[in-house]
Structure 1
Amino acid sequence: MDAGQLQAYLVKEFPQAFGPGRAHEVVRVDAGGIGLKLEAGDEHLRPGATVSGPAMMGLADIAAYAAILAAIGPVPLAVTTNFSINFLRKPEPGAIIADASLLKLGQRLAVCEVGLRAPATGADPYAQAGEEALYAHAVTTYSIPPRAI
């Protein structure tokens, strides 16, 4: 699936998160994986005006799902079987980009790596000079249902 097809599918299947006025958007699909943007607003914040862990975990999980769909097509019943995340920095409200790439794509399992970062044009007040603005790193495993014959 290309970026337009993936966005259209996610708008149709997950209208609560994607589409006009919603916080999530597919920003790229290429040979390296996918990019998914979350525009983190008040509903994604925890005390201290930082984006909450559950919001970042959700973004990483959605990005992994989208990366798998981009590779194999619309398989609505692919489900998360394992999820691990390391929180590295506290993001401010605003855009967060999830870069997801497949580490393994088998017949029944897919393993995906996701980095959550500031947009390329965004400034991360927590990053040191020359350091990537990485907020979190996740690795997910998805179960892919058998294809109907």
Structure 2
Amino acid sequence: MTDDTPEPAAIQAIVHRGVPLAAAWSIEVLAAAGGSATCRLPWQEALLRPGGTVSGPALMGLADVAMWAALLGVTDGRDESLTTSLTIHFLRRLPPGPVIAESRVLKRGRIIVGEVLIRSEGSGDIAAHVTTSWAAVVPRA
């Protein structure tokens, strides 16, 4: 972590400004440094789908935000890269409750490749595995 790397709260503020849906869902950035990030999606009944499980769109949104948080942690909080693909494999149902996403940058260049693991808070069982690629964009001045 460089001296210029923003604290998780600062990265969370950047994420909430850049992705208003992340603010509406109250996504928290718990950690972001060295190409990795951990984000938390608090429990909200509105994010359930029939059958009482956390919805796929909520998990995809959380994964996308978690990957951006990881990028913000290695770009001193200045990143305007764009998601070009996101593939999610749902491995098990997530019951109602908070959700944790752990992201990491696997490769940086013109194309950025990353991975996100999603689980219920307090569980070690991976519920979804995400691979994602991003087009690197130089931040505007």
Q: TM-score range by the shorter chain?
A: 0.7 to 0.9
For structure 1, the residue ranges without an aligned partner over 5 or more in a row are 124-131
- Out of 11, 26, 29, the residue aligned to residue 6 of structure 1 is 11
- Residues paired across the two proteins, number: 135
Segments ≥4 residues shifted beyond 3 Å: 146-149
Give the partner amino acid of 1:64.
M
Q: Does 1:134 align with 2:126?
A: yes
In the alignment, is the contact (CA less than 8 A) between 1:35 and 1:98 conserved in 2? yes
Write the distance in 2 (CA, Å) between the matches of 1:148 and 1:17.
22
Write the distance in 1 (CA, Å) between the matches of 2:7 and 2:60.
24
2:33 aligned residue: 30
Give the partner amino acid of 2:126.
L
Distance 1:74 1:148, change over 3 A: closer
1:86 aligned residue: 89
How far off its partner does 1:17 sit?
2.3
For structure 2, the residue ranges without an aligned partner over 5 or more in a row are 1-5
Classify the secondary structure of the residue corresponding to 1:17: helix
1:52 aligned residue: 55
Q: Percent identity?
A: 37
Greater helix fraction, Structure 1 or Structure 2: 2
CA RMSD of aligned residues (A): 2.0
In the alignment, is the contact (CA less than 8 A) between 1:68 and 1:110 conserved in 2? no
2:66 aligned residue: 63
